[in-house]
């Protein structure tokens, strides 16, 4: 395919901001390209020559591009630089100077998509002496054959500055429209954004199939190729490959243990929720190990220690496992919160030193692929069984996540305490019979982070609400108590109350109780006699200069009124301090 065809598509895409129109432009184009061209074209459409998870980098500085432009056009570097200052965009500069130049030359060869793609890829592979000159040559070779508009897009692609504004959703839909348009009864007007899809149900089925293919390959080209040549079956048969990251399964959140059970069913798998960062570890058939973050960035080089654990402690010729890497203090052995190791993720130098200073333990919780077999459709419990066979656990290197199979709330409470005391964030509930759904937040696993050590706090003030809450006191100042009976504020709470009385403890009810206690009012703020005690849940206690206690609650949640308690029985400040110290994981 000629590169000029792709450029036409870029130009059309740039003319509109409407998503549906962009989708239809791409879908029309996809119908035209052959299976062999798909990979190049789809990547270039996204403005890249490597898939997003590929760590290879074209790495061309603006200065090198100036040299290439000069070499290709014979125009002096100074002149080009001046033009650059005027335009502020090297892509535009390329278009302008190639236009001037082309008027004086007679003919130019036609550029193919393949040639453009290959030359740009080579840029990333050059190393060693004379590299800059070789890079300049490769770029200049393209630019001498390029028409003005072509040169603009070549330059933008090389510099990583292509912005065609087509997101994942539009790409996916373009594939569905292109290859299954007749099946879903699609009607769209080319020039507008008036798209009608007659059969929404079938549409959802095809869209899901394309999305699933993308989720396990992270390349639309593979999904498009399969859809074009082998239809729905082709999409369903796309296999994941060790070495190519797949989208991670995500979790929903629950606030109570009951909700946890309700979402995933009984009995449930319950695991510690570690406070680190996700690592999807791959070993391919050749023994190469790669590590990816939750956002599928390749972090293999930053974690040589983890690479070794994976190499030495996981059995299998090839596999993909899902895990959480957690930092710990080398002296005390205690887990550290995520922030303490986050600096390792982007680190480019002194890797060995920082690995020694900030060690991590890998907590493995799933296996998605093993020895050539895709496991995403297996039940979670059988994946977990396999995990137990293939991981050779070594503390402070690599272990399997702590696990409990139960239907009993009391067991979960004890397990939560154990998790919390060991410095973890909470628990994960997982459905025993669920598949692994890449990229999805479908409730096969849910997180439960609320602490159980609730506080009983006295309401010392309140604020009148706004809008439909204006009749109610809707935000409450809450306080603990010191040895001398002084109330020390620890934050404000409003979450947890209901708008309607019959749904549970409501703003109305609390307002009724507080109104007679009002001592003074200033603007919307009311001071109340410290009488009413409420039980408050939260995610974390933080130090805070804002409140007289010196602490603040993160995400406070009102649970109930403690009618049985008087203000003098509110939680003492010493208790708050103790909880604060206990949650510190160092
Ligand atoms: P959040 O980041 O709050 O949405 O919580 C979900 C994250 O918890 C996952 O993406 C993992 O990084 C992490 N996590 C920690 N422990 C586990 C576990 N046992 N199972 C699954 N995910 C876990």
Average pLDDT for 331-345 = 82
Q: Are residues 271 and 376 in the same domain?
A: yes
Neighbour tally for 127: CB within 10 Å:
7
Quick one: pLDDT at residue 106?
A: 43
Is it the case that residue 32 has pLDDT exceeding 70? yes
Q: CA of 485: how far to CAs of 490, 546, 572, 573, 580, in Å? A: 15, 20, 9, 10, 21
CA of 445 to the centre of ligand 1 (A): 9
Q: Are residues 367 and 475 in the same domain?
A: no
CA of 19 to the centre of ligand 1 (A): 33
Q: Give the closest residue to 391 by CA, choosing from 293, 281, 244.
A: 281
CA of 169 to the centre of ligand 1 (A): 25
| Residue ending a domain, choose from 159, 178, 200 | 159
Quick one: pLDDT at residue 585?
A: 41
Q: Are residues 303 and 397 in the same domain?
A: yes
Query: Which pLDDT band, with edges at 50, 70 and 90, does 538 fall under?
Result: confident
Quick one: pLDDT at residue 469?
A: 86
Q: Are residues 301 and 432 in the same domain?
A: yes
| Domain assignment of residue 375, yes or no | yes
Quick one: pLDDT at residue 565?
A: 82
The first and second tokens of residue 554, run together, are: 């993160």
Quick one: pLDDT at residue 454?
A: 84
The first and second tokens of residue 259, run together, are: 């909700």
Q: Are residues 359 and 410 in the same domain?
A: yes
| Domain assignment of residue 285, yes or no | yes
| Domain assignment of residue 555, yes or no | yes
Quick one: pLDDT at residue 190?
A: 54
Burial (Cβ within 10 Å: 0-12, 13-18, ≥19) of residue 483: exposed
| Residue ending a domain, choose from 422, 448, 474 | 448
CA atoms of 534 and 462, how far apart (whole Å): 13
Give tens-digit pLDDT for 467-519: 888 899 999 999 999 988 899 999 999 888 888 776 678 899 999 999 999 99
For residues 36 and 381, the model is more confident at: 381
Pair 425, 586: CB distance under 8 Å? no
Average pLDDT for 458-464 = 96
Please list the residues that pair with 428 across neighbouring strands. Answer: 271, 447
Would you say the C-alpha torsion 554, 556, 562, 568 has a positive or negative sign?
positive
Average pLDDT for 356-379 = 95
Query: Which range has highest mean pLDDT (335-339, 392-396, 555-559, 563-567)?
Result: 392-396
Q: Are residues 536 and 417 in the same domain?
A: no
- What are the DSSP E strand ranges found in 250-391? 252-254, 268-273, 277-283, 289-292, 319-327, 360-370, 373-374
| Domain assignment of residue 469, yes or no | yes
CA of 185 to the centre of ligand 1 (A): 41
Q: Is 273 a catalytic residue?
A: yes
Give tens-digit pLDDT for 46-74: 999 999 888 888 989 899 999 999 999 99
CA of 389 to the centre of ligand 1 (A): 22
The first and second tokens of residue 60, run together, are: 């061309």
CATH code where residue 439 lies: 3.30.470.30
Q: Are residues 424 and 464 in the same domain?
A: no
Q: Are residues 467 and 421 in the same domain?
A: no
Atom of ligand 1 nearest to the CA of 430: 20
| Residue ending a domain, choose from 107, 129, 159 | 159
Pair 576, 490: CB distance under 8 Å? yes
CATH code where residue 103 lies: 1.10.3260.10
Strand 252-254 to 445-448 pairing = parallel
* Ligand 1, atom 11, residue with closest C-alpha: 278
Site to substitute for ligand 1 among 271, 278, 383, most atoms within 8 A of C-beta: 278
Q: Give the closest residue to 116 by CA, choosing from 95, 136, 96, 145.
A: 145
Domain that holds residue 86: 48-159
Give tens-digit pLDDT for 572-581: 999 899 888 8
CATH code where residue 472 lies: 2.40.50.140
Name the domain count of the chain.
3
| Domain assignment of residue 40, yes or no | no
Q: How many CA atoms lie within 13 A of 413 on its CB side?
A: 7
Q: Give the closest residue to 307 by CA, choosing from 290, 292, 329.
A: 290
Quick one: pLDDT at residue 226?
A: 92
Q: Are residues 414 and 502 in the same domain?
A: no
Pair 523, 498: CB distance under 8 Å? no
Q: For residue 169, what is the DSSP state?
A: H
Atom of ligand 1 nearest to the CA of 278: 12
Extract long-range pairs of 301-307: CB within 8 Å, 24+ residues apart.
301/55, 301/351, 302/344, 302/345, 302/346, 302/347, 302/351, 303/279, 303/344, 303/355, 303/360, 304/351, 304/352, 304/355, 305/355, 305/359, 305/360, 306/279, 306/281, 306/360, 306/362
Please list the residues that pair with 304 across neighbouring strands. Answer: none
Give tens-digit pLDDT for 195-251: 777 788 888 999 999 999 998 899 999 999 999 989 999 998 888 999 999 999 999
Q: Are residues 395 and 490 in the same domain?
A: no
For residues 109 and 243, the model is more confident at: 243
Quick one: pLDDT at residue 586?
A: 30
| Domain assignment of residue 559, yes or no | yes
Is it the case that residue 332 has pLDDT exceeding 70? yes
For 405, phi then psi, to 5°, come to -105, 120
Q: Give the closest residue to 340 by CA, choosing from 417, 396, 275.
A: 275
Pair 426, 503: CB distance under 8 Å? no
Is it the case that residue 541 has pLDDT exceeding 50? yes
Q: CB within 6 Å of ligand 1 — which residues? A: 251, 271-274, 278, 294, 324, 365, 401, 428, 445, 447
Pair 83, 92: CB distance under 8 Å? no
Q: CA of 205: how far to CAs of 26, 209, 231, in Å? A: 20, 6, 12
In this prediction the pTM is 0.72
Which residue of the set 247, 273, 290, 402 is catalytic?
Answer: 273
Atom of ligand 1 nearest to the CA of 273: 16
The first and second tokens of residue 237, run together, are: 């048969």
Q: Are residues 396 and 468 in the same domain?
A: no
Q: Are residues 273 and 373 in the same domain?
A: yes
| Domain assignment of residue 520, yes or no | yes
CA atoms of 307 and 126, how far apart (whole Å): 26
Give tens-digit pLDDT for 518-535: 999 999 999 999 999 999
| Domain assignment of residue 203, yes or no | no
């Amino acid at each position: 395919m000629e590169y000029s065809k792709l450029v036409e598509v870029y130009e059309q895409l740039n003319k509109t901001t409407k998503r549906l129109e962009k989708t239809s432009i791409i879908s029309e184009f996809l119908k035209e390209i052959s299976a062999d061209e798909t990979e190049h074209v789809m990547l270039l459409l996204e403005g890249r020559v490597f898939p997003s998870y590929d760590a290879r980098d074209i790495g061309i500085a603006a200065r090198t591009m100036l040299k290439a432009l000069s070499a290709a056009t014979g125009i002096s570097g100074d002149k080009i630089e001046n033009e650059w200052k005027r335009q502020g965009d090297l892509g535009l500069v390329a278009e302008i100077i190639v236009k001037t130049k082309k008027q004086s030359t007679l003919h130019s060869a036609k550029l193919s998509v393949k040639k453009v793609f290959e030359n740009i890829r080579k840029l990333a592979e050059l190393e060693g002496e004379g590299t800059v000159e070789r890079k300049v040559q490769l770029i200049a070779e393209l630019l001498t054959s390029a028409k003005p508009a072509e040169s603009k897009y070549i330059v933008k692609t090389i510099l990583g500055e292509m912005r065609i504004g087509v997101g994942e959703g539009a790409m996916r839909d373009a594939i569905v429209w292109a290859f299954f348009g007749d099946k879903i009864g699609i009607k769209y007007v080319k020039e507008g954004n008036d798209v009608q899809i007659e059969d929404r149900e079938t549409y959802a089925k095809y869209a899901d199939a394309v999305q699933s293919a993308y989720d396990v390959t992270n390349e639309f080209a593979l999904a498009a190729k399969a859809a074009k040549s082998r239809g729905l079956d082709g999409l369903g048969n796309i296999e994941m490959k060790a070495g190519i990251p797949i989208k991670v399964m995500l979790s929903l959140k629950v606030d109570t243990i009951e909700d946890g059970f309700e979402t995933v069913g009984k009995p449930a798998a319950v695991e510690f929720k570690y406070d680190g960062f996700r690592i999807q570890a791959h070993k391919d058939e050749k023994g190469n190990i790669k590590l990816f973050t939750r956002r599928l960035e390749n972090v293999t080089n930053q974690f040589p220690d983890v690479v070794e654990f994976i190499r030495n402690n996981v059995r299998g010729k090839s596999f993909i496992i899902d895990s959480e890497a957690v930092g710990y203090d080398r002296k005390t052995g205690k887990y550290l919160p995520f922030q303490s190791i986050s600096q390792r993720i982007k680190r480019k130098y002194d890797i060995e030193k920082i690995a020694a200073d900030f060690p991590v333990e890998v907590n493995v919780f799933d296996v998605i692929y093993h020895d050539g077999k895709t496991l995403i459709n297996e039940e979670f419990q059988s994946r977990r069984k396999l995990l137990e066979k293939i991981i050779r656990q070594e503390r402070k290197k690599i272990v399997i996540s702590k696990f409990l199979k139960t239907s009993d709330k009391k067991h979960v409470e004890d397990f939560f305490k154990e998790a919390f005391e060991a410095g973890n964030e909470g628990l994960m509930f997982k459905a025993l019979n669920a598949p692994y759904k890449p990229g999805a937040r479908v409730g096969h696993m849910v997180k439960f982070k609320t602490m159980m050590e609730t506080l009983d706090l006295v309401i010392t003030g309140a604020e009148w609400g706004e809008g439909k809450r204006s009749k109610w006191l809707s935000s409450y100042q809450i306080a603990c108590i010191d040895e001398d009976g002084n109330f020390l504020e620890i934050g404000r709470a409003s979450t947890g109350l209901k708008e309607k009385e019959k749904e549970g403890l409501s703003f109305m009810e609390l307002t009724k109780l507080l109104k007679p206690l009002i001592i003074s009012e200033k603007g919307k703020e009311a001071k109340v006699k410290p009488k009413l005690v409420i039980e408050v849940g939260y995610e974390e206690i933080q130090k805070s200069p804002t409140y007289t206690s010196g602490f603040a609650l993160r995400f406070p949640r009102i649970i109930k009124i403690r009618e049985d308690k008087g203000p003098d029985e509110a939680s003492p400040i010493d208790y708050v301090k103790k909880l604060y110290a206990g949650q510190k994981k160092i």
